């Protein structure tokens, strides 16, 4: 009886410790977002007080209308949606095809090509900015939406992610399809893609979040304000001598809420997809 009580107390303490750690993680994660919302409702003076003032004296809801008057916000939304949708569709098509080839098709040098693909993940993305900019300049695509989209149509991570999902499918399914006279294209389209739907959703969510929040590349490749995305447009509010932080935070709140909704709806598929990436090599 005493041993059972000790086991129960030990289990309770472990469970309590886990919940405390998770609660701390939630607080640390959500604090910047809460501070952003509170700052968006402050005056400029309140946002720069030292020590900082947590709650605004009077909520300044006009900051949300001010940011839409200052910037062409609807144009930013349009550019960001086009950029995100086209880039996501491109990665789903190209990365799923490449992932299927690496997982199910034997061809000369496959192992070394895949190692080369993985090596790209070890190189900081900033290293590619200058070559990509020069290519876009040579193609005369600067200050266009196409310049935003083209470099991001393929992803090494997306290919690796889809390869892991395709490798989970039993080979017997593929062999049965081959006996029925199917070629690789029909196997990929009609059999494999429906079976890796969680992977496609995970890839789509990852690409959507990355595209929506992309800042550096849109700032580099576009200087025309009408061709900017949300992140780049909001960053333009930061002045050299003065920055209206409440208006900037109001713009950030307006920009981020669609991604919060997307993540809340598809968080199960997103976490499941990332968990499967390392399940089989």
Give yes or no: residues 35 and 66 share one domain.
Answer: no
Give yes or no: residues 25 and 157 share one domain.
Answer: no
Query: Would residue 54 count as lying in a domain?
Result: no
Query: Would residue 51 count as lying in a domain?
Result: no
Query: Would residue 161 count as lying in a domain?
Result: yes
Give yes or no: residues 123 and 239 share one domain.
Answer: yes
Give yes or no: residues 144 and 88 share one domain.
Answer: yes
Pair of tokens at residue 62: 């006009």
Query: Would residue 50 count as lying in a domain?
Result: no
d(CA 150, CA 163): 22
Give yes or no: residues 24 and 87 share one domain.
Answer: no
CA 114 to chain centre: 23
Query: Would residue 57 count as lying in a domain?
Result: no
Tell me which residue has tokens 């880039």: 87
Which domain, by its residues, includes 19? 2-39
Q: What is the pLDDT of residue 280?
A: 47
Q: What is the pLDDT of residue 60?
A: 87
pLDDT 10s digit of each residue in the chain, 281 long? 555 666 666 667 778 888 899 899 888 888 888 988 888 888 888 888 878 888 888 888 888 888 888 888 888 999 999 999 999 999 999 999 999 999 888 888 888 998 888 888 888 888 888 889 999 999 998 888 899 899 889 888 999 989 988 988 888 888 888 888 888 888 888 888 888 888 888 888 888 888 998 888 888 888 888 888 888 888 877 765 567 888 888 888 888 888 888 778 877 766 766 665 544 44
CA 173 to chain centre: 32
Query: Would residue 33 count as lying in a domain?
Result: yes
Query: Would residue 45 count as lying in a domain?
Result: no
Give yes or no: residues 8 and 130 share one domain.
Answer: no
Q: Please provide the size of the chain in residues.
A: 281
Q: How many domains does the chain have?
A: 2
Give yes or no: residues 70 and 32 share one domain.
Answer: no
Q: Cis peptide leading into 268, omega within 30 of 0?
A: no
Give yes or no: residues 133 and 18 share one domain.
Answer: no
Give yes or no: residues 99 and 200 share one domain.
Answer: yes
Query: Would residue 48 count as lying in a domain?
Result: no
Give yes or no: residues 75 and 137 share one domain.
Answer: yes
Give yes or no: residues 26 and 152 share one domain.
Answer: no
Please give the backbone phi and psi of residue 232, each rounded to the nearest 5 degrees, phi first. -65, -40
Give yes or no: residues 144 and 223 share one domain.
Answer: yes
d(CA 258, CA 78): 13
Write down the pTM of the prediction: 0.81
CATH number at residue 70: 1.10.3720.10
């Amino acid at each position: 009886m005493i041993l059972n009580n000790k086991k129960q107390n030990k289990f309770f303490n472990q469970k309590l410790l886990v919940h405390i750690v998770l609660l701390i993680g939630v607080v640390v994660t959500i604090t910047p977002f809460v501070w952003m919302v509170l700052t968006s409702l402050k005056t400029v003076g309140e946002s720069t007080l030292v020590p900082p003032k947590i709650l605004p004296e009077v909520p300044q809801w006009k900051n949300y209308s001010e940011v839409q008057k200052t910037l062409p916000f609807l144009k930013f939304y349009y550019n960001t949606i086009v950029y995100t949708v086209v880039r996501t569709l491109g990665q789903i098509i190209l990365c799923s095809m490449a992932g299927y080839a690496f997982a199910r098709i034997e061809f000369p040098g496959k192992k070394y090509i895949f190692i080369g693909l993985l090596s790209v993940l070890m190189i900081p993305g900033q290293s590619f900015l200058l070559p990509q900019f020069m290519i876009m300049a040579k193609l005369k695509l600067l200050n266009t939406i196409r310049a935003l989209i083209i470099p991001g149509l393929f992803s090494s991570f997306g290919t690796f992610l889809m390869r892991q999902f395709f490798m989970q499918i039993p080979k017997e399914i593929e062999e049965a399809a081959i006996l029925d006279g199917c070629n690789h294209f029909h196997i990929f389209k009609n059999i494999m893609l429906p079976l890796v739907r969680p992977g496609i959703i995970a890839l789509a969510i990852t690409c959507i979040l990355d595209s929506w929040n992309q800042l550096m590349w849109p700032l580099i490749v576009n200087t025309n304000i009408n061709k900017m995305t949300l992140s780049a447009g909001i960053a333009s509010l930061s002045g050299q001598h003065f920055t209206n932080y409440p208006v900037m935070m109001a713009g950030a709140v307006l920009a981020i809420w669609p991604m919060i909704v997307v993540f809340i709806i598809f968080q199960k598929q997103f976490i499941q997809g990332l968990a499967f990436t390392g399940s089989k090599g």
